[in-house]
Amino acid sequence: MPTKIIDSQTIQFRFNSESENKSEYIITSPVLLASRSDLFNFTCGDNNKPCYTITVNVNDIEYNGELYYEINYDIQFIPFKNCSPEQNARYKITTHPFATFSNDVKFESFIVHKNSLTQILTEFLLMNYTDLEKVSGSTTGERYKTIIMEILALYKITDAEELSTGALSVDSKTPYYTLDVTEKELKYECGYYYYDIGYEFKFISSDTCSLEENIKHEKLAHPFASFSSDDDTKFEGVIVYKNDLTKMLVEFLLMDYEELETKIQHTLKVSPQSYKSNVMESLALLWD
């Protein structure tokens, strides 16, 4: 149980359904500014079984005057000599670092725009397990790294032509959600700090839409519409261990759309509403 509530605030946002045509965004002939890499083992906690090695490479690149991170994973399966071919084949599937990812974020090479959030994500991505476990709460360093990999893929850039600007232009004819975000900072007896984030959703239907249209918008406009999870409780809120990454995510979560737009203004045509949904999904993945 927390011993003290350090801070608490509630902010409201609107979400409506956005329609996008997305395709891969191609960057040709970028300027390489810097390159970092490291090798990690993924053993699922057992050194006596087949495992994976991943070489993580992060390139700082510049294209058309904008800064990006190019992220590449070289993933290699290492069979275990004491396992049968059938066992090795099974472990090759179940122990893959992407095994728990949704199909939409299984990328071995992608590009994200550089901002204060993606900068700290890449720092955590390249952190060794010993240092990572100092800032990951009750989650192991290996598991935390796979979560970071999954989160980074959420911010993969696409060439998105938005047919609706959505969040910044809601009128009475468009069904939408209101979202009240309540953020509390808690201190526990063990001395750890956590963020307790609560969500309260309310769907506002439109009298100018048919029942079928309102039902459609009620599904598509939900901030977690694209989030594949069997745990509906994550729609009500999350509790995450406080570190530099979650602090930055909470800052992005609580920003109004206008301020958030200035942070992501170079992220092609991704709307502040879509970016905020990604931030919410990122926090849900970090539930501790």
The string of pLDDT tens digits covering residues 80-129 is 988 999 999 998 988 888 888 876 667 789 999 999 999 999 999 999 99
Q: Which tokens in the block code for residue 91?
A: 């472990």
**What's the predicted TM-score (pTM) here?**
0.86
193 half-sphere exposure, CB direction, 13 A CA radius: 12
Residue 255 burial (10 A CB sphere; 0-12, 13-18, 19+): buried
> In the structure, what pLDDT confidence band is assigned to residue 168 with cuts at 50, 70 and 90?
very low
DSSP 104: G
Distance separating alpha carbons of residues 271 and 164, to the nearest angstrom: 9
Is the Cβ–Cβ distance between 175 and 206 less than 8 Å? yes
Q: Which tokens in the block code for residue 133?
A: 């476990």
Residue 56 burial (10 A CB sphere; 0-12, 13-18, 19+): buried
Quote the pLDDT of residue 49: 85
Is the Cβ–Cβ distance between 70 and 58 less than 8 Å? yes
Q: Which tokens in the block code for residue 209?
A: 């839409």
Q: Is the pLDDT of residue 5 over 80?
A: no
Distance separating alpha carbons of residues 285 and 9, to the nearest angstrom: 22
User: What's the Rg (C-alpha) of the chain?
Assistant: 20
Task: Tell me what the mean pLDDT of segment 190-217 comes to.
Answer: 90
User: Lowest mean pLDDT: which of 14-18, 76-80, 93-97?
Assistant: 14-18
Quote the pLDDT of residue 158: 72
Q: Is the pLDDT of residue 18 over 70?
A: no
Q: Is the pLDDT of residue 56 over 90?
A: yes
Q: What order of strands is seen across the sheet that includes strand 109-113?
A: 31-42, 51-63, 66-78, 109-113
